[in-house]
Chain A
Amino acid sequence: MNRIERRFEQLRQQQRKALIPFMTAGSPHPDHTVDLMHTLVRAGADLIELGIPFSDPMADGPVIQLANEQALHHGVTPRDVLAMVSRFREQDQQTPVILMGYLNPLEVMGYATFAALAEESGVDGVITVDLPPEEAEEMLDALRPREISPIFLISPTTSPSRIETIARSASGFIYYVSMKGITGSGGLDLQGIERSLVQIRNRSPLPVGVGFGIKDGETAAAVSAFADAVVVGTALVQRLLTAWEEEESGQRLHDVVESFISQLRTAIDR
């Protein structure tokens, strides 16, 4: 059992839903990423999703694209991101960390090298946005001997037969993309999500997290009524970017994260 499985098992026993905040590693500034991860946990995050910056984040909206550009501007590399996870692990051995990124930087590093370094750094799961299971064999072969879960996305356009294919390759949890669109889009179709989750649960025993379009306590609470986890990305990244633009202060970033995440936590637990 890896950290992700343990965490979902704990939550199930406590009858609580997971809160998974996302931020891009190295944005607004790489000096603050590790500390912010600890703040996320203190404020109520159950798992952390950390973005590996990429020059061409095609599935992301303008906010996360900007965060990617900012991190790259600071020279953040995939190896730097792994080093951040290692530093986080020095003080936190419990909270699962999931890396989210695009394939090319990992392909260039080499799948075996990436998998070995990721395990060594204390990474628990990997989401590769542009790697559907049909193309994922090499990545899966590299991750299989490690304690790292390949996490796959399912979307409103995924057919029932594809759900089965994806469920066979997935572990950790399944990430349901709540809408057709990019990160940071608006307009949640709660009934549609609920119907899709039933379809997924009929085909996989894994917990199901829902992301895209969850932007505040109200939407987080609504989705957590039927999902096992809610992922909040753009809304957090936007707050970090805005705070940093107003004042380049680590303390400001912590305050913003603390207040936003605890607000989501309260809404989900209510």
Chain B
Amino acid sequence: MPVNSEQCRDLTQLPDKAGHFGPYGGMFVAETLMGPLQELRQAYEKYLQDAAFVAELDDELRQYVGRPTPLYYAKRWSETLGGAKIYLKREDLNHTGAHKVNNTVGQALLAQRLGKKRVIAETGAGQHGVATATVAARYGMECVVYMGAEDIERQKINVYRMRLLGAKVVAVTSGSRTLKDALNEAMRDWVTNIDSTFYIIGTVAGPHPYPAMVRDFQAVLGRESRQQILDQEGRLPDALIACVGGGSNAMGLFYPYLQDKEVAIYGVEAAGDGLESGRHAAPLCAGRPGVLHGNRTYLMEDENGQIIPTHSISAGLDYPGVGPEHAWLKDCGRANYVAVTDSEALAAFHALTRLEGIIPALESSHALAYAAKLAPTLSREQLLVVNLSGRGDKDIHTVAGIEGIEV
């Protein structure tokens, strides 16, 4: 939807009081959740300004998660591509192997402040589920993770990790049996157990205040990267690249740069078998606005407004919606949204593994694949920052399976 530039001023000041990013975001939930969401918003606004809370969060991120993560110059890969210098923000080096834990630590500390002893989460690839189960173990909370029956089959190792950590993993067999259905089920649990339970949403979607709150907890990685590139190169990068499923790692990277107009921003969606095939998970590139899971955003839907099945090689990107702030950044033209196919992501997965000795998550491989397209079109003085949002150990079985190798 085209918009005028006046509406897009002050992108860093969003959302508004009611959780809107332009026409997107908001609180589209059943009445039972409205009161608790308001309570959550107030608590979150209060503790974000609370020195003791902020200090505890910083300390946990340093001592438990392992922050700051390096900003690593991928020299061999950059030289092979023959263009811009590519820096990788190494979120794969976080405890639990992905950026997800930045947010689960933040929300778990908030849950503690609110006196909630039980946390629930939805998960697709299992990374957010593992990150939630991890903090639940760390802070002594009961944990229930909802996961699509289909995804449980695809991600057995993460399911076992969650169980080792003491979480109960519930298989969701309704609908398409994937991430969106897990989210539905987690919402149902939350509405039923609202007094005892804190719902840790893993991405920048859902009703207000989740999109803003998750972004703020993830923005630590963007702020670090901004300082690191200034320290290492003496200037800001020419472009940022991150993969977008729900879009939390991307929002965390992009947010601190929104006012740096000289920095181009690229969000990379999953084109699956190709956008023209219809088998993809790219609502920003090929969907249209609608309302799902508590917010208005771009969706994959049919002509009657029913949500349609998505496809991606990467379970973490296999979601029919996207965070509402991305929808607004798209309409405002501040960020460009592109898509790469399963096979392009796989090629980047192998390239990084062989040239840099880093096995990336299939989700992150989508960002890498777009960097591999963009870098050769730029000069050797130009700088790219790519969010390496997670490590690829969890995907080894998927990759081996595609290549017909028995592990």
Chain A residues at the B interface, C-beta cutoff of 8 Å:
54-59, 61-62, 65-66, 69, 72, 77-79, 102-109, 129-132, 134-135, 152-159, 162, 166, 177, 180-182, 185
Contacts and interface: CB of A to CB of B under 8 A. Distances in A.
Interface in B14-36: 18, 26-36
A106 B291 CA distance: 10
Most chain B beta carbons < 10 A, residue from A55, A154, A182: A55
Closest 4 pairs between A and B when the two form their complex, measured CB to CB: A108-B305, A105-B305, A157-B35, A155-B32
13 contacts: A55-B306, A58-B188, A61-B188, A72-B306, A104-B291, A104-B305, A105-B305, A130-B28, A130-B294, A153-B30, A157-B194, A162-B35, A180-B193
A27 to B, nearest CB: 15
A180 B291 CA distance: 23
Contact of A108 (B18, B26, B290): B290
Contact of B291 (A72, A77, A130, A159): A130
Interface in B173-200: 174-175, 180-181, 184, 187-188, 191-195
Contacts of B136: none
Contact of A135 (B26, B290, B293, B299): B26
B175 A55 contact: yes
Interface in B29-60: 29-36
Given A55-B175, A58-B184, A108-B301, A177 B31 contact: yes
A230 B30 CA distance: 19
Interface in B259-312: 290-294, 299, 301, 303-308
Interface residues of B, number: 37
B35 to A, nearest CB: 4
Contacts of B194: 157, 180
Given A108-B304, A155-B32, A56 B175 contact: yes
Given A55-B175, A58-B187, A108-B290, A157 B301 contact: no
Interface in B234-259: none
Contacts, number: 117
B291 A181 contact: no
A61 B185 CA distance: 9
B182 to A, nearest CB: 11
B35 A158 contact: yes
B327 to A, nearest CB: 14
Given A58-B184, A130-B28, A134-B27, 15 more contacts: A55-B175, A57-B184, A58-B188, A58-B293, A72-B306, A102-B291, A103-B291, A104-B299, A107-B305, A131-B28, A153-B30, A155-B30, A157-B34, A157-B35, A181-B192
A104 B290 contact: yes
A56 B30 contact: no
Contacts of B34: 132, 134, 157-158, 162
Contacts of A130: 28-30, 291, 294
Nearest to B35: A157
Nearest to A57: B184
Nearest to B207: A130
Contacts of B290: 104, 107-108
A231 to B, nearest CB: 14
Given A153-B31, A155-B31, A105 B306 contact: yes
Nearest to A62: B174
Interface of B: 18, 26-36, 174-175, 180-181, 184, 187-188, 191-195, 290-294, 299, 301, 303-308
Nearest to B39: A157
Contacts of B305: 54, 78, 104-109
A65 B175 CA distance: 8
Contacts of A54: 305-306
B30 A59 contact: yes
A127 B324 CA distance: 25
B191 A182 contact: yes
Contacts of B27: 132, 134-135
B18 A56 contact: no
A198 B103 CA distance: 42
Nearest to B29: A130
B189 to A, nearest CB: 9
A176 to B, nearest CB: 10
A105 B30 contact: no
A134 B29 contact: no
B192 A185 contact: yes
B139 to A, nearest CB: 25
Contacts of A185: 192
Contacts of A103: 28, 291
B16 to A, nearest CB: 12
A10 B290 CA distance: 40
Given A132-B29, A180-B191, A182-B192, A104 B35 contact: no
Contacts of B35: 155, 157-159, 162
A181 B32 CA distance: 8
Nearest to B288: A108
Contacts of A182: 188, 191-192
A152 B30 CA distance: 10
B133 to A, nearest CB: 23
A158 B34 CA distance: 7
A132 B291 contact: no
Contacts of B36: 157
B108 to A, nearest CB: 23
Nearest to A157: B35
Given A56-B292, A104-B290, A158 B31 contact: yes
Given A108-B304, A134-B18, A180 B292 contact: no
Nearest to B36: A157
A109 B291 CA distance: 12
Contacts of B30: 58-59, 129-130, 153, 155, 177
A181 B191 contact: yes
B265 to A, nearest CB: 28
A98 B246 CA distance: 35
Nearest to A53: B306
Most chain A beta carbons < 10 A, residue from B30, B294, B301, B304: B304
Contacts of A162: 34-35
A172 to B, nearest CB: 16
Given A103-B291, A104-B301, A105-B305, A56 B28 contact: no
